[in-house]
Structure 1
Amino acid sequence: MTKKRKIVIKIGSALLANQDMLTPRFGFLQRLMEDMARLRNQGHEVILCSSGSVALGLRIVGETPESAGVSDKQAAAACGMPLLLNAYKQVGYEFGLEIAQVLLTLGDFEDHRRFLNTRNTVHRLLEAQVIPIINENDSITTEEIRVGDNDRLAAKVAQMVGAEDLIILTGVDGLYDRNPDDPEAQFVPEVTDVSEYMEATKGKSTLGTGGMATKLQAANMAQEAGCTTWIAQGEVDRPLTSVLSQERRSTKILPYPNPISGWDSWIANRLQMAGSLVVNDAVFETMEDRQRAIRREDIISMDGDFTRGDVLHIYDKQGIERARGLSDFTSEEVRVLTNNPDADADQLLGYHTKGEIIRGANLVPLETRHLLWDAPAAITE
């Protein structure tokens, strides 16, 4: 590791919070931040995506991981975030590390302008030798408090900053070909196609919201951006440098050798589905040259309420996802256009338009290396 690298680190709640007391685990934080300082001293840039605010705040609001509902978790996040940041600040001070909090929602990744603003902020912090500690703003949102968000948001951060490595520290030493409780389970040291292992990744931790499946989803996003993902046990000395130097067992998920562009990666790697279209198969025959737009006459059916600039998932008539693209119209405008196929688009909408629902330059064909999304029931029935 001689070349300067950007390294994104994701830490789960089970490592950060004592399961019984729901208090910060300062011993782990000491080992973690000491190793982060080593990476900084080697010239690398470090970004931390941290869970833990909800777990640390549950005791304050009088709840447990089992009893807490959505509003309880929101309140717990508000109580736990100062505890989490104070713990990082105290331990980081010992190693000369300055930290900054960056609270995000899904919208900060799904809206391209907000995505760019977020990227600029993180880059400026790195320039100032400050470690960004990124977390979801769980106290004001509901959709983020669900399985796997921090794993996949860490991958989106890695994509956003052009990171070379994504290290996901967890309670196990990596990926197995089946449930690790199975005595015949085999450890998987290296992965090129994560889809081969998705069925073997059921289950999640008590404190955390994500299981191994979400870590593989995150790894697939990182692969597209040319980023190597490491899944490793966090309860060791030198939890980061020992992984990157491959001194201990971990699962290494290799990046694709020909990563797609940043624009295509932003379109293709989604955290939520704004809407979807089913289109004629003829669209896919000419999609690869990026000159073929999706027009109203191509659309068989649609699902979702979306706005101009949202990314839509494109399916064939068999319900298989084939592409993702940036919509030039709202869902209401698309309905008006498709319900009146013979009427002039300018007259229907009241302004001049080519009537292209998704322009070819904003349409990304999905290769087999993508993890595909199931079509909504509304367009498969």
Structure 2
Amino acid sequence: MITTIKVGSGILDGGGDINYSVLRGVARVISELREEKFIVVSSGALLMGLLKIGLNFVPKNIKKRQAICAIGQPELIRKWNEVFSEYNLLASQVLITHEDIGLPKRAKNIEDTIFQIFDIGAVPIINENDTVSTEEIRFGDNDFLSAYVSVLVGAKRLIIITDIDGVLDNEGNLIKEVSPDNINNVLGKIGKTQIKKRVSSGGIVSKLTASKIASEFGVECFIINGRKIGCLRKIFDGENPGTKVLPMKKYTRRETWMLNVMKGKGRIFIDKGAYDAVKNGKSLLPAGIKDVSGNFSVGDIVEVYFEDEILGKGITNYSSQEITLIKGKRTDQIEKILPYKRADEVIHRDNFVEIE
């Protein structure tokens, strides 16, 4: 049974040093539950880099931030190793980018490596590879990284540690339980409890959205206060010490990857007839395509639009250049235009996931 624990920069910031009590709280639970397998998704490279060079603000320049992260990441993993050794635990470092986890072959390599780390008896400490990730290929926040990793390895639960008790409503009351179908309603009711932190990129909206992604693959999610002693352990004793997002297996892993992880390389714009056909479970044919944008190849993920609304994502059988030539044409005309026919469909119904 696998549990992912996500620890963000905000709660790791102890002022002049890392917050050792949070690290020890995580290590203590892992050491007590040796029969479980744990993954720790830990932010903090930027924080540790700032502390190391004595800078009290975050530079706006992304290259400068990447350099600071390069300084801070070794410090971050050293802190985890230092604390883990107190509990006779072995830490390992795994650095990944959105591009790594978005490509099936690379994602499989990451999955295999994590399970080999488990076999050795170590705990994977995962962070985004900030030194090579640009704004265009970032996860956006480690909340999402923790969700994607949980789906990738088939984790049973995801625990997001923050510095508030969970999801609070407008009156400051704790919302104990949320279903994935109700998350959008909850997002409209939550209070503005986030305090601006120097290194924190997420917030409660990010945590809830990430939990929704994981829960739709059947992962049980918790958002808890990591500053409260014993809060983490209570989950393994069957209690809910914060906000629980109920699991609801809605998508297969492949569908989850297509919708949430793999970025669309381009867009296909369809007419009303194609829209009705796709909504009724039919494949997308070239006749229903009005336009195409972006530069993509066969096998890439593309977004399908009707008017100004995104309908879903799919794997294309034709490149953007080929679709430009065959859009609006009947399937029996494809071979005369290209001159070959790879498939009747631009996107087969089995390779399309509708965004609800």
Q: Distance in 1 between matches of 2:321 and 2:54?
A: 45
Q: Distance in 1 between matches of 2:52 and 2:320?
A: 43
2:350 corresponding residue in structure 1 = 361
Give the direction of change, closer, same or farther, for the CA distance of 1:157–1:146 in structure 2 (3 Å limit): closer
The alpha-carbon deviation at position 286 of structure 1 amounts to: 4.4
Indicate if the aligned counterparts of 2:312 and 2:355 stay in contact, CA closer than 8 A.
yes
Give the direction of change, closer, same or farther, for the CA distance of 1:16–1:271 in structure 2 (3 Å limit): farther
Which amino acid in 2 is paired with 1:30?
R
Which amino acid in 1 is paired with 2:334?
A
**Matched residue SS, 1:294:** coil
Does 1:26 find its partner at 2:20? yes
What does residue range 214-293 of structure 1 map to in structure 2 within 5 Å?
214-245=206-237, 247=239, 249-256=241-248, 258-270=249-261, 272-287=263-278, 292-293=282-283
Q: 1:345 aligns with which of 289, 313, 334?
A: 334
Identical pairs, percent: 28
Aligned length: 351
Which amino acid in 1 is paired with 2:55?
E
What does residue range 81-230 of structure 1 map to in structure 2 within 5 Å?
81-143=73-135, 148-178=140-170, 184-192=171-179, 193-199=182-188, 200=190, 205-206=196-197, 207-230=199-222
List runs of 5+ in structure 2 lacking aligned partners.
none
Give the direction of change, closer, same or farther, for the CA distance of 1:44–1:346 in structure 2 (3 Å limit): same
1:239-282: CA deviation from partner (whole Å, max 9, x where unpaired): 422234354630000111x4322222222223644333332344
Q: Distance in 2 between matches of 1:144 and 1:9?
A: 26
1:297 corresponding residue in structure 2 = 287
Which amino acid in 1 is paired with 2:210?
A
111-120 or 59-68: bigger deviation: 59-68
Q: Pairwise CA RMSD of aligned residues?
A: 2.6
Indicate if the aligned counterparts of 1:219 and 1:253 stay in contact, CA closer than 8 A.
yes
2:6 corresponding residue in structure 1 = 10
Indicate if the aligned counterparts of 2:223 and 2:242 stay in contact, CA closer than 8 A.
yes
Give the direction of change, closer, same or farther, for the CA distance of 1:177–1:276 in structure 2 (3 Å limit): farther
Which amino acid in 2 is paired with 1:126?
F
Give the direction of change, closer, same or farther, for the CA distance of 1:145–1:350 in structure 2 (3 Å limit): closer
Provide the TM-score with structure 1 as the length reference.
0.83
Indicate if the aligned counterparts of 1:230 and 1:252 stay in contact, CA closer than 8 A.
yes
1:77 corresponding residue in structure 2 = 69
Q: Which one has a larger percent helix, Structure 1 or Structure 2?
A: 2
Indicate if the aligned counterparts of 2:285 and 2:331 stay in contact, CA closer than 8 A.
no
2:311 corresponding residue in structure 1 = 322
List runs of 5+ in structure 1 lacking aligned partners.
179-183, 368-381
